[in-house]
Amino acid sequence: MFAYTCKYAPLSILETFDEVPIKINPIAYTFDKADVLMHPNMCTYCKSLLENLIDCNSDQLILMNCCDSMRRLYDVLKSQSSIKYLYMMDLPHKNNCCSRVLLKESFMKFINNYEKFSGKKFNIENFKLSIKNHIVSNSSYKNNFNNRIAILGGRCDDSLVNMIENCTGSSVLNLTCTGENFILDKSPDFSSMNELILWYAEAILSQAPCMRMSDISYRKKLILSNNISGIIYNTVKFCDYYSFEYASIKKKINIPILKIETDYTNQSRGQLKTRIEAFIERLKDKRKISYKTLSNLEDNYYVAGIDSGSTSTNIVILDKDKNIISYSIVSTGAKSIYGAEAALDTALREAHLSKDDLKYIISTGYGRVNIPFANESVTEITCHGIAAHHLNPSIRTVMDIGGQDSKVIKLDEKGNIKDFAMNDKCAAGTGRFLDMMARTLQISIDEMSKEGLHWEEELKITNMCTVFAESEVVSLIAENKEKCDIIHGLNDSIASKMLSLLNRVGKKDAYMMTGGVAKNLGVVRALETKLKSKIFICKEPQICGSLGAALIALKKYEEAFSK
């Protein structure tokens, strides 16, 4: 076995030595060892490799000299690991005649080095056979793109690719460095080793260039010249190359695109799944299906939407005319299923209905996939967008501040989702943030909402991290600052955080706010001041997600009778 990490690795040369190349693309649970042996701000992919390789019994590893992080990884492994054969190969950053010669020399140098180490001899006929196995025709390559979602950007781990494929229901096109290695050319017919290795160097450099290459124009051509339905653009934490390309693609290419950031751990997979599923729903919802009331349906029937959130679980029951028959808001508690069952029982009791009266149930929220009595699940982003358009068709921007995250959803005139952005990596600016601040100030959430409207001194809470902001609040209490002034400072900091999220998708009137924090008048007024615009708040903003889910359930049930 010969481990490798990069699509520029010479797999056919490795196979010629009767070695099986294995691409290593691990995730890490912690970076305890890597943070000791490398700088904390090093690329998390390289840190994940180090965590997995430092104590392993891997015999052989080849690295490509493509970036500073990879060079630092090589330095650490060389001095700290027990890998028997560790080799770093020089990789040119251009694809011209001189670069091909340089890469050919790198290949020859490796062949000589490995022959001495292993005692094996390089066989040119075996090399030719190996090359044939990696050749893909141009027509097959182009057909591979047809109407598929492409993953672009930095390296992505296998579990992320699997998650995206599960969300789309089909295979995706992985155009990152961890995608498939193949050669777009005809099989060579050279007799001399020098000519053959030079041809192979050109074939390797002619792959879709990574961002470390000097000329990356082929990346844009690759996207534009193929029928790609959408792009999921992955950036890796502390990898500096790819964010620039994302900004350029989003500005210049008219293909739906979603940007995500990963760190080669399993953290935040729930939030990532929400983003990806919402993006897929957005692609599928290009064709607008009108609501119907069909003659072969019952005279009256009921559907429900359930929003299983981190703090509360909310249910809305609708009749066939989209009237809200009842709703409930209960605490989620320690298990999402308990909160869901309690919310359902309460809503059914108030509506004087039984569970059998509900023809279709849609679940949403972070616990959506764990609601056993739901017929289907939909992301809260889609649900909030549908509810907002239903309640007020003039709304173009929805701001949802929930218990553990905040979202901005941009709508068109038909209620379709044009774009969205989420803050889901920390509790900053969320309901959880306000709960902690209220406890620190020894005040209830309801009192906090009113107190924040009457202030005199402009205090600034400079740190939006929940833990550090709490320390600032404690310091302001020690300085005997007025409680109402501190609360206004917190409200203003939440509004500033939401404004930066708004700027990512683009501000557009009219605005609506959903989620439990929309009941906090102090936050709403602070946002209105920064936006210089009024914000629409419905009668019960906390049930918007479940209302959207119920509207989808109604459509699904009616569609079943239209087929």
Q: How many residues does the chain have?
A: 563
Nearest to 513 by CA among 407, 432, 418: 407
Question: Would you call 159 helix, strand, or coil by DSSP?
Answer: helix
Distance between first and last Cα of the chain: 54
Find out whether 218 and 208 touch, Cβ atoms under 8 Å.
yes
> Could you give the residue ranges of the DSSP H alpha helices within 94-157?
97-118, 124-134, 138-143
Same fold, 302-392+545-562 and 397-537: yes
343 CB neighbour count, 10 Å cutoff: 26
Max Cα distance, the chain (Å): 86
DSSP 347: H
- Position 32: which residue type? D
CA atoms within 13 A on the CB side of 51: 21
Find out whether 514 and 436 touch, Cβ atoms under 8 Å.
no
**Which residue's entry shows tokens 């501190």?**
486
pTM comes to 0.77
Find out whether 351 and 337 touch, Cβ atoms under 8 Å.
no
Q: Omega before 347 cis (within 30°)?
A: no
Position 466 scores a pLDDT of 65
Nearest to 162 by CA among 261, 266, 243: 266
Name the burial class of residue 162, with classes exposed (0-12), middle (13-18) and buried (19+) by CB atoms within 10 angstroms of its CB.
exposed
Nearest to 64 by CA among 38, 84, 90: 90
Find out whether 434 and 448 touch, Cβ atoms under 8 Å.
yes
Position 289 scores a pLDDT of 38
Q: What is the pLDDT of residues 473-524, one digit of tens each?
A: 888 989 999 999 999 999 998 898 899 899 989 999 999 999 989 999 999 9
Position 463 scores a pLDDT of 65
Sign, CA torsion 32/37/38/43: negative
Question: Would you call 301 helix, strand, or coil by DSSP?
Answer: coil
Q: Rounded CA gap, 124 and 192, in Å?
A: 9
Pairing of strands 406-411, 397-401: antiparallel
Contacts of 471 (CB under 8 A, 6+ apart): 463
As given in the structure block, the two tokens for residue 397 are 């921007």
Q: Where are the domains of the chain?
A: 2-267, 302-392+545-562, 397-537
Helix (H) or strand (E) run with residue 560 in it? helix 544-562
Helix (H) or strand (E) run with residue 529 in it? helix 521-531
Torsion-angle region of residue 560: left (phi > 0), alpha (psi -120 to 50) or beta? alpha
Find out whether 382 and 549 touch, Cβ atoms under 8 Å.
no
Position 521 scores a pLDDT of 93
Nearest to 166 by CA among 243, 240, 86, 276: 276
563 CB neighbour count, 10 Å cutoff: 4
Question: Would you call 233 helix, strand, or coil by DSSP?
Answer: strand
- Position 398: which residue type? V
Please give the class, per CATH, of domain 2-267.
alpha beta
Q: What is the pLDDT of residues 455-476, one digit of tens each?
A: 889 888 876 676 677 788 888 9
Nearest to 307 by CA among 411, 403, 224, 203: 403
Q: Rounded CA gap, 145 and 139, in Å?
A: 10
The three-point CA angle 523-524-529 to 5° equals: 100
Contacts of 439 (CB under 8 A, 6+ apart): none
Each of the 563 residues of the chain gets a pLDDT tens digit; together they read 899 999 899 999 999 999 999 999 999 888 999 999 998 889 999 999 999 998 776 789 999 998 899 999 999 999 988 899 999 999 999 999 999 999 999 999 999 999 999 999 999 999 999 988 888 755 555 556 566 888 998 888 888 999 999 888 888 888 888 877 667 666 677 778 999 999 999 999 988 888 888 888 888 887 776 678 889 999 998 887 787 888 888 888 888 899 998 888 887 777 788 889 999 888 876 434 344 444 455 678 999 999 998 889 999 999 999 999 999 999 988 888 999 999 999 999 999 999 999 999 999 998 898 899 999 999 999 999 999 999 999 999 999 988 778 899 999 999 999 999 987 566 667 778 888 888 899 999 889 988 888 888 988 887 667 667 778 888 898 999 999 999 999 999 889 889 989 998 999 999 999 998 999 999 999 999 999 999 999 999 999 999 999 999 999 998 887 65
Superfamily of domain 397-537: ATPase, nucleotide binding domain (3.30.420.40)
User: CATH assignment of 302-392+545-562, given 3.20.20.10, 3.30.2270.10, 3.90.1300.10, 3.30.420.40?
Assistant: 3.30.420.40
